[in-house]
Structure 1
Amino acid sequence: MELNSVKETEVLIVGAGPTGLALAVDLARRGVRNLVVEKADGLFPGSRGKGIQPRTLEVLDDLGVVAEILAAGGPAPRQMFWQDGQRVGEKDMFGAVEATEAEPYAGRPVIIPQWRTQQILLDRLRELGGDVAFGTALTGFAQDADAVTATLSDGTTVRAAHLVAADGGRSTVRAALSIPMTGESVDPSSMLVADVRVPALDRDNWHVFPADAGFLAICPLPHLDDFQLVAQFPDGARPDLSLAGVRQLVAERSHLSADDVTELLWSSDFRPRTGLADRFREGRVFLAGDAAHVHSPAGGQGLNTSIQDAYNLGWKLARVLKDGAPAALLDTYEAERRPNAVEMLGLSTRVHRGEQKRGAATQQLGIGYREGPLSQGGAGALQAGDRAPDGPLGEGRIFDALRGPHFTLLAVATDAELPPLEPEFIHVHRTPEPYEPYGKGLFLVRPDGYIGWAGEDPTGLGAYLDRLGLTRC
């Protein structure tokens, strides 16, 4: 970029974490020009958000990267508890949840280091013609009735229709907008998280070492020589993030010696807390991911909720910017995602405090928008706002039909006559037999995989399509 040049784009995304990259991928495949700026010189280097939940795998399937995620990841291992150098018991942290036709990714979350997830998303973005401007910080912005004008640290001025803050829990964008974030301390203990190499440990289990000084847990990261180490410090002392400090910690809390930790690749400390922004939108600026909500890491909800923010916002921005949908559609982002964030914050806090087990609830397959402003009607086994289940469809799968930027109208065991539909925006699929997860009826599936409208016959479908600007011209 030339010094003091002016660059125009449709969406400026601040932050190249999982949220920003997922949004950029979604926009790019929909033909929406976007610019991602990241103040760091490269992608986040650590494994921090390592658990990908089944619902997020469905999102990543639609974005075209699930095969890469599954190849680079692996199922969460069973916990192995140690005492005085002896294995004293195993535990399945996530409960018995099995995949089904309707929920093909159900089961244990996939363990994959966050840096690898981000690299896969960045590769996909570049495949679609996009990229990230690393080493480039947002230094200021203002908005008017038509656009946001932002200045960057390299001297560039960017003019964009919308700005999305995906710049983390200490969001500079949220601070500039003076949007409060309210929350609480989930645990007064400080936590250490680090990526280490410990050849002396087997890679078949998630090793847990309870101790009076605070627990130590060491989880193998698939297809790597690395482990993620997490340790608690109940006395509130700030952890020593150096190799020497980590070695001492391991020696004090386990049967391992200090020298068994051969490398320290990355380390960080934090104090578990929750936070929720008072609002997710200010004019043409949106908050997403940790900029909008901060979770305890327990239960693996933060990264997953964040990616789903991006997935909710992406199709709506595209409908307004590319397809002429009413601007009011963008109001539904906060209306749908903020209640969802409240629910997930409560869940992650309960899991952290031992009040709720991991399992079906933490997989996020039950999340929906039944009370949302875009949900209308019901038929068979589903209400508008429910997640659209997978299942057989002709020679393929329902998810195959849903994949892409379009809406999908599923006519299940009904020969109801449909109103004229715009085939560019709405793909119609009929199946003559009832399918238990759906029952019978008409189901209009949004681009993010949720039922927008449902009915036993087309009554009301036309009015719903008019509202979204989907009626044939």
Structure 2
Amino acid sequence: MTTVVIVGAGPTGLTLACGLARQGVAVRVIEKAPTFHTSSRGKTLNLRSLEVLADLGLGERLAAAGRTHLPFRKYFAGEFVNETEPFAGARPTATTPYAASLWLPQTRVERLLREQLAEYGVEVELATELVDFRQDGAGVEVHLADGRRIAAEYLVACDGGRSTVRKLLGIPFVGDGDPEPMMVCGDVEVEGLDPGAWHQWFGPQGVFMLCPFEGSRRWQLQASPETDADGRTVAPSLESFQRLAALHTGRADLRLTNATWLSTWRVNVRVAERYREGRVLLAGDCAHVHPTAGGLGMNTGIQDAWNLAWKLGYVVRGLAAAALLDTYQEERLPIAAWTLDVTTAGMTAVTDGIGTPGVGVEAGRVADLTGLSLGYRWSRIAIDHLAGPLRAGDRAPDAPCTGPDGEPARLFDRFAGDHFTLLGFGPGARPALAGLPDHVRPVPLDDPDGAARQAYGITGDALVLVRPDNHVALTAPATAREDVLAYLTALNADE
């Protein structure tokens, strides 16, 4: 029997599938579309998503596919105003290996994830549509449009804002939306424009933006919709895009060709009332949709999947009780609420500034573009027995350390995989690192230059237990081995 069925082969579903398949979980990914889409859609991975995908083995391939620095070239009423770059001068640090977001279209991210998933022997099943399902205490039966049925232990919906699974569950999608399109989108080829910048024309008549992609002739177009004489939105087309370009740029030499992914975008701010119903869970846009400000959409879905993958894997592998799955909603629902709030405020700032010279998409910059500050201090599985600046639930920082053979390494190298990591700071912690369960990796830290201590806010000998998703699970004194074992035992207890 298939252990987990994932509905939807976007970044959320594929990240989840990779995280489960790496643990040896039997997973199937079904996608109702007959072919993989080729449209750009999302276009940035933030620093936290880069850490997640690097843990899955995609770091070098992503870096080769995208670009880390992209100037924002801004115009007002057709005239150049200024040029800025959000991560100008940013450099990696001891605790953060990535200095800047990575610009690349969602379709490339999905392709790389599919390649990684194929290395685990799993292929996406195209033209495979879920139309219904039934669940009980023993599992889920998935009903497909072609009459086939799949028996599984769990079903995870990653099928977008119009999720079939969420609707079948009857889970309310709470919030509101604007019935009128706010923006038209498309992928085009552009002649007469420098591909070294994201060009943003703002002015009294609205906004028109063209964003290039590294190693491609494609640009992503986003613009205020064209309207007809009666004020109705004109359907997006190459001809409409060309008229919008002339209107906003004032340039007759700017030529758009080969338009694909003709789309309209409406403001929707909604979140699912709950993320779990028995053996069925929701993730990504299926669980929350929000404005585009800050570029958080693809990233939030990837990070939902990263949180859920280790928990669901541990449950089906017998390393944790099903109650652990309740912490997925407990941890990720507040992150979704924060995301909805900051992106709504950001979108308002952008739209309010359209008629102001020098305003661009940076007006919608959210409080944390990196995703590095987002943690789960409120979680029931975040336990502190030590006081300090870094607390249980926080992202575990990177730092220099020694590898298993004594060679120089980094903590992120030691974290990579589906295990817990027990960091032992100082000689007093050494006894606690012996004889641990197989899914816990002991890492002694001599830390002669104090870099790891500084990163973790540790002043004496201590223990820090790090979860498989690289968040701090537990902090404890060096002699508190029993606290570590009690934490791991509690994960296997049904509430």
The CA distance in 2 between the partners of 1:362 and 1:84, in whole Å, is 28
Tell me how far 1:88 sits from its aligned partner: 2.5
AA partner of residue 454 (structure 2): E
Work out whether residues 73 and 222 of structure 1, in 8 Å CA contact, stay in contact via their aligned partners in 2. yes
Unpaired segments ≥5 residues, structure 1: 1-7
Work out whether residues 205 and 220 of structure 1, in 8 Å CA contact, stay in contact via their aligned partners in 2. yes
SS in 1 for 2:293: coil
The CA distance in 1 between the partners of 2:232 and 2:469, in whole Å, is 44
Match of 2:15 among 3, 22, 25: 22
Q: In the alignment, which residue of structure 2 is the partner of 1:405? A: 418
SS in 2 for 1:262: strand
SS in 1 for 2:211: strand
Tell me how far 1:338 sits from its aligned partner: 0.6
Kindly report which structure 2 residues correspond to 1:246-265, keeping only aligned pairs within 5 A, or say none: 246-257=241-252, 260-265=255-260
SS in 2 for 1:182: strand
Work out whether residues 194 and 265 of structure 1, in 8 Å CA contact, stay in contact via their aligned partners in 2. yes
Change (3 A) 1:226 1:415: same
Q: In the alignment, which residue of structure 1 is the partner of 2:37? A: 44
Kindly report which structure 2 residues correspond to 1:104-183, keeping only aligned pairs within 5 A, or say none: 104-107=97-100, 109-183=101-175
Tell me how far 1:270 sits from its aligned partner: 1.2
Work out whether residues 184 and 275 of structure 1, in 8 Å CA contact, stay in contact via their aligned partners in 2. yes
The CA distance in 2 between the partners of 1:77 and 1:186, in whole Å, is 31
Q: In the alignment, which residue of structure 1 is the partner of 2:294? A: 299
Change (3 A) 1:237 1:451: farther
Kindly report which structure 2 residues correspond to 1:50-61, keeping only aligned pairs within 5 A, or say none: 50-61=43-54
Work out whether residues 13 and 20 of structure 1, in 8 Å CA contact, stay in contact via their aligned partners in 2. yes
Tell me how far 1:211 sits from its aligned partner: 2.9
SS in 1 for 2:343: helix
Kindly report which structure 2 residues correspond to 1:76-95, keeping only aligned pairs within 5 A, or say none: 76-83=69-76, 86-93=79-86
Work out whether residues 216 and 253 of structure 1, in 8 Å CA contact, stay in contact via their aligned partners in 2. yes
The CA distance in 1 between the partners of 2:191 and 2:479, in whole Å, is 62
Kindly report which structure 2 residues correspond to 1:321-470, keeping only aligned pairs within 5 A, or say none: 321-354=316-349, 358=365, 361-379=368-386, 380-394=388-402, 395-416=408-429, 417-418=431-432, 421-433=435-447, 434=450, 435-440=453-458, 441-459=462-480, 460-469=483-492
Work out whether residues 95 and 359 of structure 1, in 8 Å CA contact, stay in contact via their aligned partners in 2. no
AA partner of residue 381 (structure 2): L
AA partner of residue 111 (structure 1): W
Tell me how far 1:303 sits from its aligned partner: 0.9
SS in 2 for 1:47: coil
Tell me how far 1:93 sits from its aligned partner: 4.4
Work out whether residues 427 and 446 of structure 2, in 8 Å CA contact, stay in contact via their aligned partners in 1. yes
Change (3 A) 1:378 1:295: farther
SS in 1 for 2:301: helix
Deviations 1:342-380 (A, max 9, x none): 111112112212287526612110000100111001545
The CA distance in 2 between the partners of 1:143 and 1:244, in whole Å, is 49
State whether structure 2 residue 180 is matched by structure 1 residue 207.
no
Work out whether residues 190 and 234 of structure 1, in 8 Å CA contact, stay in contact via their aligned partners in 2. no
Greater alpha carbon shift after TM alignment, 113-122 vs 183-192: 183-192
AA partner of residue 157 (structure 1): R
Deviations 1:392-447 (A, max 9, x none): 01111100000011110111235223175445201011111342111322111100
Work out whether residues 16 and 132 of structure 1, in 8 Å CA contact, stay in contact via their aligned partners in 2. yes
Tell me how far 1:189 sits from its aligned partner: 5.4
Q: In the alignment, which residue of structure 2 is the partner of 1:198? A: 190
Tell me how far 1:257 sits from its aligned partner: 3.3
The CA distance in 1 between the partners of 2:397 and 2:15, in whole Å, is 22
The CA distance in 1 between the partners of 2:177 and 2:92, in whole Å, is 35
Work out whether residues 4 and 28 of structure 2, in 8 Å CA contact, stay in contact via their aligned partners in 1. yes
AA partner of residue 393 (structure 1): C
AA partner of residue 362 (structure 1): L
Tell me how far 1:214 sits from its aligned partner: 1.0
Change (3 A) 1:414 1:271: farther
Q: In the alignment, which residue of structure 2 is the partner of 1:32? A: 25
Tell me how far 1:469 sits from its aligned partner: 3.9
Tell me how far 1:127 sits from its aligned partner: 1.1
The CA distance in 1 between the partners of 2:427 and 2:176, in whole Å, is 51
Deviations 1:293-352 (A, max 9, x none): 001111011110101111111111111111342111111111111111111111211221
The CA distance in 2 between the partners of 1:92 and 1:345, in whole Å, is 25
AA partner of residue 11 (structure 1): V
Change (3 A) 1:140 1:185: closer
Work out whether residues 14 and 110 of structure 2, in 8 Å CA contact, stay in contact via their aligned partners in 1. yes
Percent identity over paired residues: 40
Tell me how far 1:94 sits from its aligned partner: 5.7
- Return the TM-score normalized by structure 2: 0.89
The CA distance in 2 between the partners of 1:288 and 1:437, in whole Å, is 31
AA partner of residue 48 (structure 1): R
Q: In the alignment, which residue of structure 2 is the partner of 1:10? A: 3
SS in 1 for 2:263: strand
Work out whether residues 94 and 358 of structure 1, in 8 Å CA contact, stay in contact via their aligned partners in 2. no
AA partner of residue 397 (structure 1): R
Match of 1:226 among 218, 224, 228: 218
The CA distance in 2 between the partners of 1:414 and 1:348, in whole Å, is 46
Kindly report which structure 2 residues correspond to 1:277-288, keeping only aligned pairs within 5 A, or say none: 277-288=272-283
Work out whether residues 140 and 152 of structure 2, in 8 Å CA contact, stay in contact via their aligned partners in 1. yes
The CA distance in 2 between the partners of 1:318 and 1:241, in whole Å, is 43
Work out whether residues 8 and 32 of structure 2, in 8 Å CA contact, stay in contact via their aligned partners in 1. yes
Tell me how far 1:185 sits from its aligned partner: 3.5
SS in 2 for 1:382: coil
Computed over aligned residues only, the root mean square deviation of the Cα atoms, in angstroms, reads 2.1
The CA distance in 1 between the partners of 2:348 and 2:85, in whole Å, is 18
AA partner of residue 256 (structure 2): V
AA partner of residue 59 (structure 1): V
Q: In the alignment, which residue of structure 1 is the partner of 2:55? A: 62
Tell me how far 1:86 sits from its aligned partner: 4.1
Work out whether residues 77 and 202 of structure 2, in 8 Å CA contact, stay in contact via their aligned partners in 1. no
Work out whether residues 406 and 426 of structure 1, in 8 Å CA contact, stay in contact via their aligned partners in 2. yes
Q: In the alignment, which residue of structure 2 is the partner of 1:5? A: none
Deviations 1:128-186 (A, max 9, x none): 11011101100110101100001112321101000000000000000001101112347
SS in 1 for 2:428: coil
SS in 1 for 2:57: coil
Q: In the alignment, which residue of structure 2 is the partner of 1:4? A: none
Greater alpha carbon shift after TM alignment, 138-147 vs 380-389: 380-389
Work out whether residues 93 and 358 of structure 1, in 8 Å CA contact, stay in contact via their aligned partners in 2. no
AA partner of residue 374 (structure 1): I
- Return the TM-score normalized by structure 1: 0.93
